[in-house]
Structures are given as C-alpha cells and as structure tokens.
Amino acid sequence: MNNLKQESLNKSRSYTACISASHRMLFDNIRTIFKHTWLYALLLALSMSMMSMFYIKALIGGGYSSSSFICLVVSLLLVVCFQVGYTSRVLMLLNCQTMMWNVKRYLRLILLYLCVSFAISAIQWILMYLVIGGTTSVPSDKMPVTMLLIACSSLFFACVLLPYVYVFMKYMMEPESKLSKLLFKVYKTGLRYWGFIFITLLLAFLCVAVCMFFVSIPMLVITMANTLSVMGVSYLGDSSGLPSYFDFLQYMIVAVSSFICLYINIFIIFVFYFMYGSIETREKERKDFLKMK
C-alpha cells in the first residue's frame, strides 16, 4: 500500500493547524485515496440510497410485515457491512496495515460502541421511568421534563465519552495496543486534552456540515417530493403524480450525493489522525519536561 503525502504526524498542532493539515492531506492525495476506496464508497453509497428509498415506504406504508420493511432491513445490513469496509480502507491508507487487520479492529470498536449505546439507553429509560412514575406512556404534563432529561443526559454522556475519540484512533494506529488497556489508562490522557478535542471536532464538523449541505440539496429535494407523494397515496388516497422513472431518478441522485459526501467525510478521519498525532507529541514533551525537573 502506497503511503499518502502528508506533513509530519509527530508535531504539536493547534486545532486550526490540525484542520489545515487534514485539508491539505485530503486534496494532495485525492487521486490516491479515490483509487483505493472508490469501490467501497460506491457500494456504500448505493446501499445508502436503497435504504433511503425503502425507509419512507416502510415507515408509512405497511409496518413490520411489509416487503418494504424487509428490504429496509436488508439494505441496513448492507450499509453496515460496506461502512466497515469503507472506513477500514481509509484507515488502511493511514496505518499501512492489512485490510483484514483494520476490519477486525474496527468491528471491535463497533461492538464496543453498541454496548455503550445500549447501556446509555438503559440508563435513560430508567431515568424516564422514575420521572413519569412507572406509566407505559409519557403524560402530556411531563413531556417537557422528559425531553429535557433526555437532552441533558445525552449531552452529559457525549461530554464524558468525547476523549474516546483519541483512544479509538490510538487503537487503530498502533498495532501493539490493546483495547482493554486503552479504555481507562489512555482515557485519562484524552480527558486532559478534552478542550482541544472538543474545539477541533466542533470546527471540523461545522466545515463538513456546510459542504455536505450544499451537496445534499438535490437529494433533500427529491426525497421530500417522494415523501409527500407516498403520504398522499397512503393517507389521502390520491394518485401519485410522479413519473414512472422517479424512483430510479431518486436512487441515482441519492447515490451520487452520498458518494460525494463519503469523500467529504474522509476529512473528519484525517482530523482525528492529526489530532491523535498532536496529543501524542504533547504527551511526549510533557513527560520529557517532567523528567528534567
């Protein structure tokens, strides 16, 4: 695997320097990145487009027993599989490990993410149960309190788990690292740089969100048109005024928009990469300084 053209990783950078280095790395290596990832990105974009089409139909037109719901589940599984392959392929360009090595490690992170998400959801359900008094539905007078509770608890857990962005990147970049040892030991290091991680990711996600918004405008317009059509047919009994080729047109537009967005999203992975390098360098300098005392 060819290495990417990049600036030195082992360098202490500010949040703006991390973003600038990621931007240059993406555009300086766009041909190499495309060469090694286009098939994975294409398969993921096609499966995401398929999922978006069946989601509206399954949500409005038939429930769990409908064919649309079955197709939705199949497309969701395809999205997960191709997402693993796409992300592993991008990380492969950074750590120069084999594809299978990256897939195995990334799957472990996904499994850990699912376990943590389940635990957080369970805690939120328990808190909601205590607030609403054990009823099966949320009373209207307690709806604002319940929504505030969910929002505050989600924000709290997001803040607590933020340093794991550094932990997970370290796990993917260092072959000798063990996830069980990183979860708590390295988390303390990430916690020390919480502010740096937060402001870097905030700016990076804002940049990506703006770019993705403009790329996604055609997708949003055509998806909204299809949603209104399906609602009119299902609830009002209207005939669909959309042309026969509309489903194919929607599928292609969503696929193309998703394909472009996936390459914009690589910028975020590169920000993680340089943020990891900056924290590692600062920690080394910190330890060297303490030894000199």
List, for residues 18-38, the tens digit of each pLDDT value. Answer: 999 999 999 999 999 999 999
> 29, 2, 1, 12: which is closest to 269 by C-alpha?
29
Please name the residues in contact with 193: beta carbons below 8 A apart, sequence gap of 6 or more. 163, 166, 279, 282
> 84, 82, 57: which is closest to 70 by C-alpha?
57
| Neighbouring C-beta atoms of residue 219, cutoff 10 Å | 21
Which tokens in the block code for residue 280?
Answer: 């590692």
Q: For residues 19 and 286, is the Cβ–Cβ distance under 8 A?
A: no
Q: What pLDDT shows up at residue 227?
A: 76
Q: Determine the residue type at 19.
A: I
The DSSP element (H or E) to which 205 belongs, if any, is helix 194-231
- Each residue of 94-148: pLDDT tens digit? 998 999 999 999 999 999 989 998 998 888 888 887 777 666 666 677 778 888 8
Q: For residues 73 and 64, is the Cβ–Cβ distance under 8 A?
A: no
> 259, 275, 215, 271: which is closest to 37 by C-alpha?
259
Whole-structure pTM value: 0.87
Measured CA to CA in angstroms, residue 123 lies from 117, 136, 157, 290 at distances of 10, 17, 11, 40
Q: How far apart are CA 15 and CA 18, in angstroms?
A: 5
Q: What pLDDT shows up at residue 1?
A: 43
- Each residue of 234-269: pLDDT tens digit? 666 666 677 778 888 888 999 999 999 999 999 999
Q: What pLDDT shows up at residue 72?
A: 83
Q: What is the DSSP string of 62-117?
A: T-TTSHHHHHHHHHHHHHHHHHHHHHHHHHHHHH---HHHHHHHHHHHHHHHHHHH
Mean pLDDT of the chain: 86
- pLDDT of residue 170 exceeding 70: yes
> 4, 6, 3, 34: which is closest to 20 by C-alpha?
6
| Percent of the chain whose pLDDT exceeds 90 | 52
